[in-house]
Structure 1
Amino acid sequence: LVEINDRNGVREFLDARVPVDNVVIALAAKTGDQYLVNMLLAEMTEKKAYSKSEKPMMAVLGTSHFDMVKLLTELDQFKPDWRDRKGRSWPELAEEKQGPNWKAEKELLQRLHDDWAKAQGIRRRSSSPLTKREGSKPRRVPQDASDEESDNEEAATVMAPKRKNGRRLMSRKDMRAASGKPFSDSEDGEEPERTIVNGEMGPPDSPRAKHNTARQRSKSQSMQPGEETSSPRTRRRSSASLRRPSDSVMPALDEKEEEKPTEEVEADKQKEAEAQFAIHEAQRLEAKRRDEEAAENEAKKAEEEAKAAEERREAEEARLREAEEEQKRLEEERERREAEEAKRAEEARKAEEAFREKQAKMENARRNHITDLLAALPKTLNYALDQQSNFSYRTDDDVAYLQEHFMPLLVVREDSDGPWVLNIQAAPLLGKRGLEVLLPQTNELEFDLTLSGDWSKFNDGFSARDRANISRAVSFLTRSEGEVFDEDVEMADSEDGPSIFHRELQRIAGRLNAQKARKARLLSEELIPLRLVKLSDVLANLHPVLRDTPTEVEYLTFPAKARQVALQLDKQAAEGFVERWQAFSANVVASETYTGGRLAQSIAEKENRLGRTEVVVVHEK
């Protein structure tokens, strides 16, 4: 997709999070599409950008995309000082690739390398410790966790269970244990101290006050086991924190309590028992609440599990339905694909049948056309070109036959492109495939024209002189037509039969009439188009049996060319015989001989070739 500049396809792959690296950037850079390269660069990670960052520049150097080279040099990952394994720098690589813009590439890369070198020199001179310290980051100050602990303690205090009268059902130490925090010395010793101070102020004035005092004492006594389980260090701290002037009051308080009457002691014990019961009741209620919460959590968990199981069941049913639907869809898709394949196979079969039928018709038409074409040819040409004849182009007799009936080659036209010969005379010299030059030029029947398909041909705008020369060439090819045998001659009614002279006259008259009819049919171009082909093409494609055989070429254009040279000499007032002869020899050639496609001999005009035609007059006595 990158190599063919398919931007939409690349965008779809980028939307699918396909990773981009410098190999992909190199392929895109080679196309010269800057939009595509920028689109890919925007999706490439920094790690990928600096991995093998030389790949894009290596790919684009030596191409015609100089703007792409400039774009790549502006990237952060471009390294002006990079060298390959052989130690070659960017300017050296640009010069070595010898691209269309290698000079501009080398100049740009050399300038960037020089700028980089200067920058490196400045950076080495300015390596001051002060500069480094200025760029350092401030230290991070750790935060104090005391505020967080105090907030947690307040939250634990608020969340602690309370009675209806506002008093806590749990001590601060129990709340500490429940919240998972360590016990504090100040908190452990705070409550007893407060109790002692309250006791120092004097006995209570009312039973309610006494009840509160007993409750405070029982509370302090219930907290003592917790203090015993603490560490010795904690006990030392607690004892140290309790060494205050208020300690001297304790004996006085004990003495007063010992002096109390029995009823009050019993009442205090009763109150203390009630307080203990209240504490146990609170603990029982708390345990019950916890059990209820656990049961509620278990029920909620069971409900959630049941809901999850139901969801899993529904998901499984949905998955099964989807699988069934997918299976059904795949089955329908398979059936549809099979139907399409069957349809395509049927269409292909019909197309193949139609093609074969067309080819059969074309082959039949070609066969009929060739049959008609061979029938229109003179019998010598028919014998040489017919595939079914015994003429094989192998023996010396075959070579002699070709020389007798089709040589010399007659040049019927000369122009700036060279000499031209008639196609029906050149055809038998090319072998059986020479029939190609006689086929229609439009080639509607799709003949095989690999031999002469690209030859230059001339068949438009024949001049009167060209037509006269073509007529002479056709007469030359039809000179063997109309041979009359004795059995074809009508016998006279006389008693002695026809005389020998009479039979000869009949033979000659029949031969001339046959030649005339064949010539007229060829010149009418009824079946065979008369075209001119270059002499050079014919000599270059002679049948191998004629490659080493001298091929004589006669110029029917000699008289016209001789007249042109004579007119030029007359205009130049050349009267000397030697001068005129040299001019004729240099510019007028009557015939030439070629061997192996090369000129072997050039001689003067032969006898009876200059403007003269042999005529045989036959008449009856």
Structure 2
Amino acid sequence: MPHKKNVDRFGATRLARECEKGDLKTVQGAYDAAPDELDQQDYAGITPLQKAALNGFPDVVKFLLQKGCRTDCQNSDRDTPLIDAVENGHFEVVKILLNVARVNPHHQNKQGQRALDVLREDVDDAEEIEKELRRAMQRESNGADESARDAGASQDASSTNLLYNEYNTETLRIKAAEGNMGAVAELLNSNIKPNMACGAAAARGGHDEILSILLGFGMKADPDPMKHSETPMLAAIGRGHLKVIKLLLEQDNFDPTRRNREGKTYWEVAEERRGPKWQQERDTLKEHYNEYRRQHQRSPKKSRARHLSPTRSQTNNRENGRKTTASSEPPKGRGRLVSARELQQRELQQHRELKRRRRVVADESESESDDSDVRGPVKPAAKAKPKPSYDAPRDNGLSSPEAPEKRLGRKSGSGERSRKSDTVPRDAPPPELDAMEDIKQETPEPIKTERLAKAERLAEAERLEAEKAAEKAAAEAREAEEAEKTRLATEQARIAAEKAQRDREERLQALPRALRRALQRGKNRPLHFDGEEMGISANFLPVHRVRFKEIDPDSPESHHDEWWILSFQAAGILGLPQLDLIEFPDWERHPVTEPQRQRFLRGYDLAQLAQDFRFPMEGCAEFDPQAIERVMAETRAQFLKMPLEWVRWDDFEAALRGGGYEHLANLKVTTASYIHVHDPAVVNGDVRKPRSFLDVILGSAAARNESHS
């Protein structure tokens, strides 16, 4: 490995730096001077080939390939030269890497993204790049070795890397995509619940062991692909992750016959995507599809006729061809339970029949034919089979074949009917009444009461069971609704947080370098020079104060002598996350006009804001005056556009003395007041010369005097 003096502070060799610039002649010269630097990585794991591919220099890429550089190189995020070239829309470099170097188009980075996944639609040659990638993916679909392809995507079970990460579902998704087993286990043990996005990330990266753990912690294995554009199964299909696909298929209640939003089944999606090992994916999915359909095929329902049993029995008198209605007692059956209402109706019907029979027996003037019509003919003694009561004991006196003839005063076989008055006294009770009384006495009152109570208990139990079922269904519906609300709220919060982070990064990128680093690093900055890093004192001291009468000449005279400073100086020294000073809503503020901004620049040394790390000194190999001039011009343009406000010096001093900024206790805050924003920079007729960058480093007597004033 080359000596440390041959690399810069980022670990990049001369060859890597020249490849990043893209000048083929200088690249050839750097290679001739140090051929062993051909595949040397910097501190981020980036090789010269990746730098050339990232910046889109096809000639440099061809030269490096001709010299035999490694084509399977990848940085710390497992991004390859192909991924970098595709993401930045360098079509010519993509063609060289795919057709000349024959790199693997299926390689996935830490986030499980292939080169095709990072292609942006807004690049100029997006369609041509996509066609070239798909052609190469089909060519390599069956020839790529899955173990070799995912060699860099192993599942790390030792490292957690959660020191600067929040414990939430988004962090779990990121670590699952990276295959970081230790971090995933720690997050799950901290009660972070996995969602579908976590499972899709693990499946996309081919991390079957992590996916198995997520499933064990309650993640749903089979979300509906009709409702979700990317489920764990859809994320795994087309990437050659057969272990992940088989793991999902082995889960209970997994339905391999589901269809996505385009109406295609899983095996049809595998056939359409034609990724690595796509034939095996398709055959495995189709086999489970057919097996599931065969096991869950339903047989046609058989219709069954319902037969209702009569409530009353009817006997057919075959001797004289007439139908006689038997007593209203229930037929002998299966002993079903009788409801209270049905029991009352039955007793009422018996009572009405009893009253009717009493009237018939008491009417002596009734003719014999009428008496026969009412009571009906009596069967011969040998064929009489009276029905026993439903509830009472069977031996009730009516089962005897001679009982009807004895009570009715008839002679067996005489063929002649006698009147009741001839055999039965007038004051004797009617025989039908005696029979009905016997029948009623067969069901004791305690038994009726017990049956009624039993029916009521059964009805109450059914009612309670129905209420419980309704409550359970309502609770499940509420839980589902709450879960959906929670999911939507979480998703909205995640989207809002991502948008806020993107907006903040965009605002920070529009700021000068030193101010951007101050807002990004916050308190994690040195007070003074630390190697190449400038530090707080070199970037933001002295603090330039201006009298309020110059800011607002029309203000009351009582405020004219107040000191005010620009907001970027306060934010830079305190290390606030934003330039708007939202942490101090009580501070007095005043808008900055464009002339004031221009006049401030006359006396301010922009080199302080242009350097987060010190410019290379003249005489060093890295010294580039044109690059420094470009940085200074860029810094001036950024200063003129960034949002600024005037704030009171007293408010800033109070914040320094307050809590939360103990890291600034050893920082001596010096001040200067030679910048004027109302009139030209003239004080007592003398034009003050702005402090140079050297004055900032070494300090000046004027600044020291101001610090004591």
Judge same fold: TM > 0.5, yes or no.
Answer: no
Higher helix share: 1
Q: TM-score, normalised by structure 2?
A: 0.27
Higher RCO, 1 vs 2 (CA within 8 Å, ≥6 residues apart): 1
Compute the TM-score of the two structures, normalised by the length of structure 1: 0.30
Larger radius of gyration: 1
